Structure 1
Amino acid sequence: MREIFTGMPWWVKWIAVPVIAIVVFGGLIATVVGILISLLFKLLLFVAIVGGLVYVVRKFLSSSSSSRGDW
């Protein structure tokens, strides 16, 4: 790989090649990043819903057990 870039100017290695890679693989990179963000959002939503459910069930059970103790 180094033999290919030996005679080239610095801007070919550090500017042109990365820009070409982003143009060629930009859609793929955007898709992968979008999928990761979507999965992270779904995971956080799942955790929030399960946490809310646990909170509601504990509140309900604690209020029903205290009312049973009044009898």
Structure 2
Amino acid sequence: MDIKETFAGMPWWVKWVAVPLLALIVFGGLITSVLAFVIGLVFKVLIFVALVAALVFVVRKFTSPPSHGG
């Protein structure tokens, strides 16, 4: 017995409503924790990039030789 044959005999709402709902109920906590980890990681990467850019800006501003306008 094949999975495709099993699902072929089912009504549409079983395939498109009941099965995804069961997956969310069973794996909901896992999905939530993975999403929270990914979003937290992206946020930390963005904060890191912003801090490095600010550091480069400050270092260049204070270490550049003074320009004498002419």
TM-score range, shorter chain: 0.7 to 0.9
Alignment size in residue pairs: 66
Per-residue CA distance 1:17-70 (angstroms, 9 max, x = gap): 1100011111111111111100100000000000000000000012xx228x8x
The separation in 2 between residues aligned to 1:20 and 1:53, in whole angstroms, is 49
Q: Which amino acid aligns with 1:58?
A: R
Residues 1-71 of structure 1 mapped to structure 2, 5 A cutoff: 1-62=3-64, 65-66=65-66
What is the CA distance between 1:13 and its match in structure 2? Answer: 1.1
Decide which structure has greater helix share: 1
* Aligned structure 1 segments of 4 or more residues deviating by more than 3 angstroms: none
The separation in 2 between residues aligned to 1:6 and 1:40, in whole angstroms, is 40
TM-score by length of 1: 0.83
* RMSD over aligned Cα atoms: 1.7
5+ residue gaps, structure 1: none
The separation in 2 between residues aligned to 1:4 and 1:56, in whole angstroms, is 65
Percent sequence identity is 59
5+ residue gaps, structure 2: none
The separation in 2 between residues aligned to 1:12 and 1:59, in whole angstroms, is 63
